[in-house]
Structure 1
């Protein structure tokens, strides 16, 4: 049963299910200063916007000082009259849960359950995303002056669209897919796209390129948050040929609406704020920093400015369509928003896989923000027998097999709050011995954006993106569980004595172990 978050007399589950696009999501949050802030003070999208938001609500692996805070919409963008920029919509787990109509502890279960209610998208004929049409064939067309693509730092290779959802179709099978990628603006009608190894749309591109053909795609920005969350699932949870838009349909209990693009043979998200139409060109590559020479790309989720890629595929833009007064959505690369986007699908995938193999063993999973939602998982296990000492480690192995990019797993008992890093470190300090409770699996595929995963760091690694994976078993041995019992305090509601303090774990029912 889905947990319901209450705000006064309002049922947020019902409100969340009414969300169909970004504007509905903003409307849900607009009157709550914890979740939404708007500014009409002019701001420059070139490094200044991200520099401000790092103090407001970026969080994640952003260099300190930073914090979690409200989403922020800037309505006066230097050099742009008709476009506002929204950042940080998903940069807080509680806010994501609210937008999905549930609570922080239950949001991963709600996302996992969406697979059982999956709904395929439908095609409509009229779409808000096409209220305004800008054709690239027009002599004055220039995407650089049309849309304010931000830079995160002064060292970025180029301006980037950081929340652009690519939609493409396999030229051989006709199956469509959606993924989010690093998109750099390279010219008036050219973008470069970084595809991490194994991404499905890149496989579509390679098939088209092998046939000497361009691949039509659309880039969709400013969307219902459920679409972004669903799009971030990966194989094997969503195998090749699975359209992740079905997950968003399951989350909203209503199919995502698509519309035919204006200039290419592909679909777009009908209620997007902005759609870029175009083709990935066969055999054409550009250096990511060809216009800047910085040598850096942009800050990615591990918290580092990785090197600019020397050879990336090119998208030739054929049109940009928008709603009237469009909202461009972006993120601060290594911030908490990435943890939500990548981490919640990671948690849901692990829960589905472990529940299937070891029913009832795993109580909770948190894809920790220190790993950007990808590299580090904390798993809370219920031990009921001595056999579960081994089952807990088996669950960690299943997690590593379920999510290829996962690097480290920490196992804890049900009396440890997976969302509280101090509590997790306490368990690692008092319930773990390095010589018996650390399991290392060497030479396994990981992720190319982790700078430690390369032969220059460890000569035993055969290639970039290969790593050692580690399980840290910080659970008490079952036969010694009495010796590891925590001191128990009286269960007293503190609110009558401290009415002005905030106790969110009491208000939303997200106590440890629930």
Structure 2
């Protein structure tokens, strides 16, 4: 299938059907409450999910209990190889692809509502029996979750003062037949700013939530400042990846746009001044599993979306994700890699060869930088590159720097560098008291009394590069170059 034909979720799935080992379907009935995620934990969740788990195929559940006309897809982006396949590049070049896309954005366009696939079937909130919990097969990741969550919803809203729009992914819990709670990371960007402006003015903020879209949009939506400053619409990055503008359609009940070829669209408004306890229906004290591998605590007061309508395709596909999974690693990590590449290349061209946002940090907390020292004056620049990486992505906690002969995507190779090219007392740089991310339970004054607030951390650089003047003494053993296909052709088909 021609990669240019991937324009929505269904065409992406058609592509994967032609590649062995990338997509499986099951007709076995599954309960969306805890069971669906429990199954995929073994099939292909990967990431920071509790072991045993592994990286495996995406999975479609065709028979979801309580939802006769819908299917649920999980794990679409839970493999770097699969993401590269869907974005038409190589796994180790994904950061570079996104970096180029940021530099050459293509703005989204608005299409006529005449034949919008996302609006084939319409349910209005004032219809008899309207209930988002029955319309949307949103899974519950664990048995102690606060409720069913929309985890792959592309939230789209606009600045009430400037009209500039943006798209991000948030934690959305279905709270009642027409209400959802929305979690904003403290100090978060874009949509949080829009909401605060609207609330200050005492006005509701229209918001659309598009579920089941082109994977290029899902990756692009995860960029952060400073790479995409306030007012930068990440849909333009997805447009650049595809070399084709993302198509938006006007919503039916609110003054906002949504992704025209989405599987589902939820239309609603963030209500000013209204708050809800995230676990009001379960009282578990828990929200859902988050990317660091722990279940996040339920938040006492969250903003509320009042749902006005749900529209969807015929026989829609609900897309979901396990929070601490390889899927999150790729969504958060690949934009992180692009942001670091962009900032370091601008400051010191040609020295940073690649970046890997490592799965153990959920794509946010840890990065491996592959750095090349070519002359004596490059010594020390590797640490400058790490400082720039912290600036490029504020939620980074740990950076490991390796030489050009170490594969940053191979954890064993990185650990080899740590063991043979690193001395803790001279190759560790501590940056205490720097703002990071509140979902890491160690970033808390209860863990370290020196921390002034939750979400502050000691950021650390592990410099596993050889000092330039000693490079000759650290050459890896050289093996004869041969063509192994002569001897084991079946392994290279």
Class of the TM-score when normalised by the shorter of the 2 chains: over 0.9
Cα shift at 1:499: 2.9
> C-alpha separation between the residues in 1 aligned to 2:64 and 2:481?
51
Aligned length: 490
Match of 2:76 in 1: 89
Equivalence map 1:139-288=2 (5 Å): 139-197=128-186, 198-288=188-278
Match of 1:496 in 2: 486
Residues 244-267 of structure 1: CA deviation (Å, up to 9, x unaligned): 100000000000000000000100
Cα shift at 1:314: 0.5
Cα shift at 1:495: 2.6
Cα shift at 1:388: 1.5
Cα shift at 1:17: 2.5
Contact persistence 1:117–1:253 (CA under 8 A): no
Match of 2:53 in 1: 66
SS in 1 for 2:490: coil
Contact persistence 1:362–1:379 (CA under 8 A): yes
Q: Which one of the candidate residues 358, 366, 374 is aligned to 2:364?
A: 374
> C-alpha separation between the residues in 2 aligned to 1:493 and 1:314?
61
Contact persistence 1:153–1:298 (CA under 8 A): yes
SS in 1 for 2:333: helix
SS in 1 for 2:415: helix
Find out whether 1:317 has 2:304 as its counterpart.
Answer: no
> C-alpha separation between the residues in 1 aligned to 2:20 and 2:192?
40
Cα shift at 1:433: 0.7
> C-alpha separation between the residues in 1 aligned to 2:320 and 2:452?
35
Q: Which one of the candidate residues 104, 107, 115 is aligned to 2:102?
A: 115
> C-alpha separation between the residues in 1 aligned to 2:355 and 2:56?
23
Match of 1:387 in 2: 377
- Scaled by the length of structure 1, what TM-score is found? 0.94
> C-alpha separation between the residues in 1 aligned to 2:488 and 2:72?
39
> C-alpha separation between the residues in 2 aligned to 1:491 and 1:107?
28
> C-alpha separation between the residues in 2 aligned to 1:141 and 1:314?
18
Cα shift at 1:483: 0.8
Match of 2:408 in 1: 418
- Scaled by the length of structure 2, what TM-score is found? 0.98
Structure 2 unpaired stretches of 5+: none
> C-alpha separation between the residues in 1 aligned to 2:79 and 2:12?
14
> C-alpha separation between the residues in 1 aligned to 2:287 and 2:481?
51
Structure 1 unpaired stretches of 5+: 1-9, 508-514
Contact persistence 2:70–2:315 (CA under 8 A): yes
> C-alpha separation between the residues in 2 aligned to 1:243 and 1:473?
36
Q: Which runs of 4+ in 1 moved over 4 A?
A: none
Match of 2:120 in 1: 131
Match of 1:402 in 2: 392
Match of 1:50 in 2: 37
CA RMSD of aligned residues (A): 1.0
> C-alpha separation between the residues in 2 aligned to 1:43 and 1:397?
47
Contact persistence 1:33–1:70 (CA under 8 A): no
Residues 270-289 of structure 1: CA deviation (Å, up to 9, x unaligned): 01000000000111111110
> C-alpha separation between the residues in 2 aligned to 1:115 and 1:284?
36
SS in 1 for 2:489: coil
SS in 2 for 1:150: coil
